[in-house]
Amino acid sequence: MSSEEARRAYVWIWLPGAQEPVVAGRLDEQGGGATFVYGQSYLSRPGAISLYTPELPLVAERIRPLDGLDAPGCILDGRPDAWGQRVIMNRLLGAAGKDADPQDLGLITMLLASGSDRAGALDFQESATEYVPRGRENATLEELASSAQRLEEGIALTEALDAALLHAASIGGERPKALIDDGPRRLIAKFTARGDTQPTVQGEFLAMTLATRAGLNVAPVKLTETLGKKTLLVERFDRSEGASERRAFVSALTILQLNELAARHASYCTLAQAIRESFTSPAATLRELFARITFNILVGNTDDHARNHAAFWDGEMLTLTPAFDICPQPRHTGRATQAMMIGEDGWKESQVAGCVERAALYQLSNPQAREIVEHQIEVIEGDWSEVCEEAELSEPDRALLWRRQFLHPYALEGYAQAEE
């Protein structure tokens, strides 16, 4: 399928509580941009919701992207990221896909070539009348891990395993992964990558588990072993257990109305303003957001960019999703910064003392902010050994993470002074 052939796609949506999708409208790509128009049948449907009102309100006219975007952000949230693009390029172009630019294929080609079980409640089809899901080939976790490894090494896949790996092509992120069903649960399997120089999969398990113990709302995780290597299983929060319902959500990047190139301008305090205006339970959500910021800092996750935060969309209001992708990052210097700005002054240092100083932006008092940070430090220190045992992490690997990512001295620098 060439980019010239794939210039139109129909957007299907699972409405709240629905078991089957309905067509919502049509996406047209031309000249490097994409516009959207709702179908008349959808506009007249009882219970129809907008795909995301700030961008695509329920109106009977063609809608252009917001300024600075080449397509609606809620649509771009369904586009494959780095890993999914590698799977698709391999499928469409074979060995030549390794050196090709995914942008050359265009947005709609990427949407139609990726699997249908994408995050959220949208999917993209060539037909406005018949929904045909893509990428549901059965494969074992071992076969999927082997396929991901072969793809990383540039080795051709069998047709069946290529189709099975495509199932996860629409899920965001850079690392190799697959989608699996475990009875009524829907899981994302994250594999050890070929070039890993530290226990990245176990590190994410540690961070996610400690986050749960510290009281954050976090996607459930467990570790398993596949082909002699650790695999992280993450329970999907956008799927209802034992049913076919899908939950719509949008990324913080979409909420902030930014494109990928402008993501460096993403700000937690701007997101906090959106929470005050458009989210359910704003006070509790602001506290949760602040706690996620400080926890990311304490465990060395500097990859807290705006696509790694999201909110459910019910057609009227937003609700913060469980936290995901809390993955400590390797660092080679003492100083570190977060991916998103924390203060109105552009401050983004990976230090909890500065977060406490700016707690009022998140409607927290200084003592409330310190209480959150101190509890998180207490949990990380107190539960570290137990969770490392659960992760079967060796002493050398623990040494790679402890005080280098988890509770790095720079994260705590100045905090004692802030406490006085």
Q: pLDDT for 241-254, tens place per residue? A: 777 889 999 999 99
What is the pLDDT at residue 110? 87
3-state secondary structure of 206: helix
- pLDDT category of residue 94 using cuts at 50, 70 and 90: low
Phi, psi of 318 (to 5 degrees): -105, 150
Count of CB atoms within 10 A of residue 128's CB? 17
Sign of CA dihedral 118, 116, 128, 79: positive
C-alpha span between 75 and 153 (Å, rounded): 31
Rounded to an integer, the average pLDDT of 343-355 is 96
Rounded to an integer, the average pLDDT of 334-345 is 95
What is the pLDDT at residue 203? 97
User: Could you give the angle at the alpha carbon of 80 between the alpha carbons of 209 and 201, nearest 5°?
Assistant: 25
Rounded to an integer, the average pLDDT of 93-101 is 63
Residue 126 · residue 10 · CB < 8 Å: yes
Q: Comparing 152 with 140, which gets the higher pLDDT?
A: 140
What is the pLDDT at residue 304? 97
- pLDDT category of residue 172 using cuts at 50, 70 and 90: low
What is the pLDDT at residue 313? 98
Domain boundaries, the chain: 8-125, 141-235, 249-419
Rounded to an integer, the average pLDDT of 245-267 is 93
Q: What percent of the chain has pLDDT over 90?
A: 67
- Residue appearing with tokens 């994302």: 188
Stretch among 91-105, 130-144, 270-284 having the lowest mean pLDDT: 91-105
What is the pLDDT at residue 8? 94
What does the block give as tokens for 312? 């459910």
pLDDT greater than 60 at residue 171? yes
- pLDDT category of residue 196 using cuts at 50, 70 and 90: confident
What does the block give as tokens for 238? 């956008």
Topology given in CATH for the domain delimited by 141-235: Phosphorylase Kinase; domain 1 (3.30.200)
Q: Which residues pair with 13 in a beta bridge?
A: 22, 122
Q: Comparing 149 with 365, which gets the higher pLDDT?
A: 365
Mean pLDDT (the chain) is 88
Rounded to an integer, the average pLDDT of 351-376 is 98
C-alpha span between 246 and 120 (Å, rounded): 6
What is the pLDDT at residue 150? 65
What is the pLDDT at residue 96? 58
pLDDT greater than 60 at residue 289? yes
Helix (H) or strand (E) holding 237: none
Pick the CATH number of 249-419 from 3.40.50.10190, 1.10.1070.20, 1.10.10.10, 1.10.630.10: 1.10.1070.20
- pLDDT category of residue 261 using cuts at 50, 70 and 90: confident
Residue 11 · residue 75 · CB < 8 Å: yes
Q: Comparing 247 with 161, which gets the higher pLDDT?
A: 247
Q: Which residues pair with 23 in a beta bridge?
A: 12
